[in-house]
Amino acid sequence: MYRSKIIGLGGHVPENVVTNFDLEKLMDTSNEWIVERTGIHERRFVTQPCGSAELALPACRGAIKDAGISKEDIELIIVATTTPEHQVPGTSSYLQALLELAPVPTLDIRVQCSGFIYGLSIADQFIKTGQYKHILVVGVEVQSVGLNLTTEGRDVAVLFGDGAGAVIVGRSDDESAIMSTHLFADGRHANDLWVDAPVGYQSPRISKEMLDEHRQYPKMNGRQVFKNAVIRFPEAVITALETNHWTREDIKLVIPHQANLRITEAIAKRLELPLEKVYSNIHKYGNTTAASVPLAMVDARKEGKFSRGDKLILAAFGSGFTWASAAIIW
């Protein structure tokens, strides 16, 4: 058995900044409501057309450079996204083509906000068994083009943004390591945060009627999401701590999925951690779903919040419901 670690990290967001004031022009909302309920001040939206693979490419190149490897060293590409270019095939196929890496295997993961940590866990297993030495794990979302940017969709539309984060997972020969990953799900909540159409069990899968009924837009039972998130996030973090016999004092930083600042504050409170130890950059990017954890890692490292040898916990919760944590010695 080998040990794995993250050897390279990269992130990328579109240049186009969309502030809460910009959203005020599209729907009945206010900067005050959005900031108070979510902590979000602005997010990035792609300038169309730009698919998830295209958005992910600079983040991947950044991670490859940071790892000091060449792209030809990559043996598996894992992409977590809720916003693939097409229903079939997955974004990882398009990304592999852009990276010019045929015939490297590609794998899409559809577990929404927890996708990056699920991907990290899969990569960890392949490295541990010795099957692969370098794996690219990507979290990417182009949410903006799928949102209902009118008053009808405002509860969801103000939350989400576009972005990409990527890591290279490789073998560890020093103290740095992915120490543990824990994955969870509760499908009984599948329709508490979901996109109904295209519908897989109905012909045609998409119709004018469906579009007229706005079934193509994400719908959310916000209170249910919130209630579960503030329980599941801390549970996943505590599982990571207990597995590794780490105390709260041992952790340099918890990097949670950026769902909502109020959720992050609740996590800190439940874990009895000072807010400075639970990283947040949601004010800049909103909720970028599968991209938010690697993007937060990029920013936190840039801000000097952690360095080699520090103990980190990554955690996520989202649609499915799915949730997950990873304990890392950076």
List, by residue number, the catalytic residues: 113, 257, 287
Residue 279 C-beta: closest distance to ligand UT7, Å: 16
Among 264, 287, 288, 325, binds ligand UT7 (CB under 6 A): 287
User: What residues does 18 pair with on adjacent strands?
Assistant: 43
Residue 18 C-beta: closest distance to ligand UT7, Å: 14
Q: Which of residues 235-274 bind ligand UT7 (CB under 6 A)?
A: 259-260, 263
Select from 77-85, 127-135, 180-188, 223-231 the region that touches ligand UT7 (CB under 6 A): 223-231
Residue 297 C-beta: closest distance to ligand UT7, Å: 17
Position 225 contacts ligand UT7 (CB under 6 A): yes
Binding string to ligand UT7 for residues 138 to 167, with x set by CB under 6 A, is what?
A: ----------------xx--xx--------
Asked if omega into 321 is within 30° of 0 (cis), the reply is: yes
Question: What string of H, E and C letters represents the secondary structure of the chain?
Answer: CCCEEEEEEEEECCCCEEEHHHHHCCCCCCHHHHHHHHCCCEEECCCCCCCHHHHHHHHHHHHHHHHCCCHHHCCEEEEECCCCCCCCCCHHHHHHHHHCCCCCCEEEECCHHHHHHHHHHHHHHHHHHCCCCEEEEEEEECCHHHCCCCHHHHHHHCCECCEEEEEEEEECCCCCEEEEEEEEECHHHHHHEEECCCCCCCCCCCCHHHHHCCCCCEEECHHHHHHHHHHHHHHHHHHHHHHHCCCHHHCCEEEECCCCHHHHHHHHHHCCCCHHHECCCHHHHCECHHHHHHHHHHHHHHCCCCCCCCEEEEEEEECCCEEEEEEEEC
Residue 316 C-beta: closest distance to ligand UT7, Å: 8
Backbone angles phi, psi at 83, to 5 degrees: -125, 65
Residue 314 C-beta: closest distance to ligand UT7, Å: 15
Which CB atom, from 64 or from 193, has the smaller least distance to ligand UT7? 193
Which CB atom, from 23 or from 177, has the smaller least distance to ligand UT7? 23
Which CB atom, from 135 or from 225, has the smaller least distance to ligand UT7? 225
Q: Which two tokens stand for residue 45?
A: 């939206």
Q: Which of residues 20-49 bind ligand UT7 (CB under 6 A)?
A: 29, 33, 37-38
Among 223, 249, 274, 307, binds ligand UT7 (CB under 6 A): 223
Which CB atom, from 131 or from 151, has the smaller least distance to ligand UT7? 151
Among 9, 113, 120, 313, binds ligand UT7 (CB under 6 A): 113
Q: How many CA atoms lie within 13 A of 82 on its CB side?
A: 29
Closest residue to ligand UT7: CB criterion: 222
Size of residue set near ligand UT7 by CB under 6 A: 18
Residue 213 C-beta: closest distance to ligand UT7, Å: 19
Which CB atom, from 223 or from 308, has the smaller least distance to ligand UT7? 223
d(C-alpha 47, C-alpha 218), whole Å: 20
Which residues form the interface with ligand UT7 (CB under 6 A)? 29, 33, 37-38, 113, 154-155, 158-159, 222-223, 225-226, 259-260, 263, 287, 318
